[in-house]
Amino acid sequence: MRIVVTGTDTGVGKTIVTAAIAAAATAAGVRVAVIKPAQTGVPDAYPLDTPGEEPDATTVARLARPATARTLANFPDPLAPLTAAAVSGRPPLRMATVVEAVRQAEGAHGLVLVEGAGGLLVPMGESSWTVADLAVALECPALVVVRAGLGTLNHTALTREACDHRGIATMPVIGAWPAEPELVHRTNLHDLPELVGVLPEGAGGLSATRFRGSAPAWLAPVLYGVFDPAAFTSAAAVPDRRRADRPA
């Protein structure tokens, strides 16, 4: 099985969601490979204790301990991968290189997760291929990491429309659910397409042991977890203000 992990934007929690899926699948006895086609914004040589500079594959390996976690290309500047390649003077990544890496990984792994960069249509490499193009080439679904708050309905709809246009199945996951959700968060639950997971805000800051133990509770069975979207939505239902305002 192969899944491309993308998002409605940058900074929505793709890496932590990727780690959670890897952790849940590994706990279920599945051998997992995580492939990051292009890493940007991380120097070639970096101190591991510097906040914000840990490569995504390293974060996934630390939190989830999948069988394999690798990066195919690294570009130091925090830009879209194709732009970052041009600025660094390095050759852009070819989509064929990624497809071949995924197919090779499938031979020894039951699940291959491919984490993109930025959103669905960010130029990733040579000839401006995108994560959407990759999902089509791999004939696999796109797990879309979305925000919980204001603006997510539009961004999610645009991403799903782009996927639908290309025949890509989508699976939405909220990347960071606040500890104290506001009205907008609760109402968005009812307007977003059916979720296959909700991660709590700050999940990436948990210890590796606690992260791995908690991950299955954040994900639906299709992602090797036990999360129940209907139960979560019901529990987070918006209070009926009219009923609350009625005199006893």
Question: Lowest-pLDDT range, 17-26, 183-192, 207-216?
Answer: 183-192
Beta bridge partners of 32: 111
DSSP state of 51: T
Q: Can you give the pLDDT at residue 115?
A: 98
**Which domains does the chain possess?**
2-237 (3.40.50.300)
Q: Which of 14, 36, 185, 212 is catalytic?
A: 36
Q: Can you give the pLDDT at residue 52?
A: 57
Q: Which residues contact 198 (CB under 8 A, 6 or more apart)?
A: 173, 174, 177, 218, 227, 229, 232
Chain segment 30-71, per-residue pLDDT in tens? 999 999 999 999 887 655 455 557 899 999 999 999 999 999
Dist. CA 232–CA 230, nearest whole Å: 5
Question: Lowest-pLDDT range, 39-48, 138-147, 186-195, 203-212?
Answer: 39-48
Q: Is the pLDDT of residue 223 over 90?
A: yes
Q: Can you give the pLDDT at residue 73?
A: 97
Average pLDDT over residues 165-175: 98
- Long-range CB pairs of 152-158, under 8 A, 24+ apart, other chains included: 152/8, 152/188, 152/192, 153/188, 153/191, 153/192, 155/8, 155/9, 156/8, 156/192, 156/193, 158/8
Question: Pick from 136, 153, 175, 108: which is nearest to 4 by CA?
Answer: 136
164 band by pLDDT with thresholds 50, 70 and 90: very high
Instruction: Kindly state the tokens that stand for 63.
Output: 């939190």
Q: Would you call 14 a catalytic residue per the annotation?
A: no
Q: Can you give the pLDDT at residue 103?
A: 97
Radius of gyration of the chain from its Cα atoms, rounded to whole angstroms: 18
3-class SS at 199?
strand
Q: Beta strand 198-200 with 170-177: parallel, antiparallel or unpaired? A: parallel
Angle at 119 between CA 224 and CA 146, to 5 degrees: 50
Dist. CA 123–CA 137, nearest whole Å: 16
Q: Can you give the pLDDT at residue 242?
A: 47
Instruction: Kindly state the tokens that stand for 203.
Output: 């999940």
Average pLDDT over residues 90-106: 98
Chain segment 106-128, per-residue pLDDT in tens? 999 999 999 999 999 999 999 99
Q: Is the pLDDT of residue 152 over 50?
A: yes
Q: Can you give the pLDDT at residue 46?
A: 57
Q: What percent of the chain has pLDDT over 70?
A: 92
75 band by pLDDT with thresholds 50, 70 and 90: very high
244 band by pLDDT with thresholds 50, 70 and 90: very low
Q: Is the pLDDT of residue 27 over 50?
A: yes
b/e per residue 44-71 (b: at least 16 CB within 10 A): eeeeeeeeeebbbbbbbbebbbbbbbeb
239 band by pLDDT with thresholds 50, 70 and 90: low
Mean pLDDT score of the chain: 93
pTM, two decimal places: 0.93
Instruction: Kindly state the tokens that stand for 96.
Output: 């064929």
The DSSP line for 122-155 is ---SGGG--HHHHHHHHT--EEEEE-SSTTHHHH
Q: What percent of the chain has pLDDT over 90?
A: 87
